Structure formats: structure tokens, C-alpha cells
Amino acid sequence: MKHLLLLLFSVFILSCNAEKIETTKSIQSQQYITVLGTAQDGGFPHIGCQKECCANFYKGTASKQKVVSLGLIDKESQKKFLFEATPDISTQLDDLERNHLKTSTIIDGVFLTHAHIGHYAGLIYFGREALGKKNIQVFAMPKMKEYLTQNGPWSQLVDIQNIVFSDLKKDSTLTITPTLKVTPFLVPHRDEFSETVGYKVEGKNKTALFIPDINKWNLWKKNIVEEVKKIDYAFLDATFLKDGEINRPMSEVPHPFIEETVSLFQNEPTEVKNKVIFIHFNHTNPALQPNSKERKALEKLGFRVASEGDRYNL
């Protein structure tokens, strides 16, 4: 009798666990953001880098890190979108197809932030030398559209309609599926060829900010801490950990150091810090590496660090 009771109890526990797993699967959001890349424009390993960080890749002790990109999935509407057209676009689009949502269209739209190489150079693979597909929708601000239209080789994509534009306006919300909205907003950056925007993404239940590039938080008209409090996730510029990280004047490539961002949030509760997801890491930034002490220290403080494959339900 004792053995029978133990057997029944074991079956009960197993069935409860099975039910719990099944319920967890059933409540997974049909809308979510997935991280497709985390590195700054030059990627990791970086061209010309002879430092230990990149040497570790060639030794086989560090993994390649793709250039910063997010995928936006809406399975209810059977649509998927890409934020940034990076030099790694081929494998990033394959990731979306293979691991998230396979449809008859390789992508339903690409949102661009600005005209620095890691954020638009991948568009070239839509051209006749590579994919050669027609009418891929590109969401771009006015100066970004003008730059692509008037300068080769990008202009050829426009001329033969590999890409078609959906015009964006600052602070104007675009409904891209019945329950997904995207709003671009201007941020200060090195705007040599185009303006620079971040994006707010609104899903059924949650919202996110995506600001991979900005000069300094105090140059923005908005308060980043207050903006983060209003949303659920904030993918923020984490190019450099601290001053002196690279062997050239860092004023030439201004970004908010992670140390500066952490300082702005130091007096906020954990639930606010936990909304911050650092992304867009230079190859020299030790927080790019999964097991670094710097990354662990950030996570211990309550912040999050983006990794390829992460999902954030909307």
C-alpha cells in the first residue's frame, strides 16, 4: 500500500509538471522582439584588431558576435520585421525564417535608424548580385531616403525596385499590423549623411525603446530615465564601457559610456534598472563577452545585457 501511494504521488507530481509546462507554452506571446545581433557596426571580431579580445576569437575561445539588429515578430498577423540592415543580414534573416516565422516573404519590412555602415549596408544584399527580390519595404526617414536614392550603389536598389520606401516622420506612429505600432523619434548623433532615430514599439501588452546610437544622454531633449519608466524594455546604446577604452579621441565617436548610463539609474529601484537592456557593444567593450566580470557586474546591479537569441514578449 505504501509503495502504491508513493507511485500515485509520483504520477501526480509528473502530471502537474507536464501541465505547468504545457500552460507555459500556451501563454507565450505571439508577439515578441528577438535579438539578432549585439555588436557595434564593425562587428566582432573587428577588422584590424590585434588585441586580446579579438585574438580570443581566432584562438577559438570567443564566439562571433553579429552587428546590432532586432527582429519583430507577430505570429497572429504572420508578419516579421527587421530593425537595421546590417552586414550580417543574410544570417539574421535566416534566423528569423528558421527559428521564428517562415512565410512566403523573406521580410515584411526593414526599419533603419541612420546612415552608418552597420545599420544600412546590408541593404545591398537585396540587389541583383544577391537576392534580387522586388519591392522589399524599407521604412526610412526623409534624409535617409534621400541618401539612399541619390547615391550609388543604393540608388540602383531604388531604380530597379529591389526596395520601396515607406516614409517615416518623427514622432508619427505607424500601425504595421492590427496590434503592432512603431514610432520613430529623433536623437542626437553624428548625422553626416542622414538624421538618426530611435524607435518605440508598442505591442498588445508591452512596449519597447530601441536606441542603439546616441551621442550623450544629456544632449537629448528627453530624460532617458523618465522615458524608461514609461515602457517595459529599453534597448540602449552600450558602445563603450568607459572613457579611454580605445586608442583615439573618444570625442570623435561620442556615445554614452555604460558607466554614465549606470550612474543615471543608480538611485532607481531594481524594477526600473531591469528594463534597461544594453546593446551595440564595441569589440573592445568587455561587457560584450558572455562570461566577463564586467557583464556579471552589470547584471548584479539589476541591468540586463542583450544576447543573440533573447526574446522579449510584447
Q: Is the pLDDT of residue 246 over 80?
A: no
Place 5 in a pLDDT band, splitting at 50, 70 and 90. very low
Place 34 in a pLDDT band, splitting at 50, 70 and 90. very high
DSSP classification of residue 196? -
CB 166 within 8 A of CB 139: yes
Tell me what pLDDT residue 238 has.
96
Handedness of CA 41, 189, 115, 151 (dihedral sign): negative
How many C-beta atoms lie closer than 10 Å to residue 183's C-beta? Answer: 19
State the Cα–Cα distance between residues 182 and 39, nearest whole angstrom: 23
Q: Is the pLDDT of residue 6 over 70?
A: no
State the average pLDDT over residues 169-186: 98
State the average pLDDT over residues 56-82: 92
DSSP secondary structure string for all residues of 219-263: GSSS-HHHHHHTSSEEEEE-S-SSTT-SSS-GGGS----HHHHHH
Q: Which of 44, 107, 120 is nearest to 280 (CA)?
A: 44
Q: Where are the alpha helices (DSSP H) in the chain?
A: 2-26, 52-59, 89-99, 117-120, 142-150, 154-159, 224-229, 258-264, 270-273, 293-300
Tell me what pLDDT residue 248 has.
77
Angle at CA of residue 108, ends 32 and 104, nearest 5°? 105
Phi, psi of 65, rounded to the nearest 5 degrees? -120, 120
CB 32 within 8 A of CB 314: yes
At 190, list the grid cell. Answer: 553624428
Tell me what pLDDT residue 138 has.
98
Q: Is the pLDDT of residue 41 over 60?
A: yes
Place 9 in a pLDDT band, splitting at 50, 70 and 90. very low
State the Cα–Cα distance between residues 251 and 140, nearest whole angstrom: 27
Place 54 in a pLDDT band, splitting at 50, 70 and 90. confident
pTM: 0.89
**CATH code reported for the domain at 30-313:** 3.60.15.10
Most confident stretch, 4-18, 21-35, 239-253: 239-253
Question: Phi-psi region for residue 89, left (φ > 0), alpha (ψ -120 to 50) or beta?
Answer: alpha
- Grid look-up 514578449 returns 313
Mean pLDDT in the chain? 89
Tell me what pLDDT residue 308 has.
96
3-class DSSP assignment, residue 103: coil
Bridge partners (DSSP) of residue 235 are 210, 277
State the Cα–Cα distance between residues 243 and 38, nearest whole angstrom: 20
> Each residue of 202-229: pLDDT tens digit?
999 999 999 999 999 999 999 999 999 9
Tell me what pLDDT residue 51 has.
83
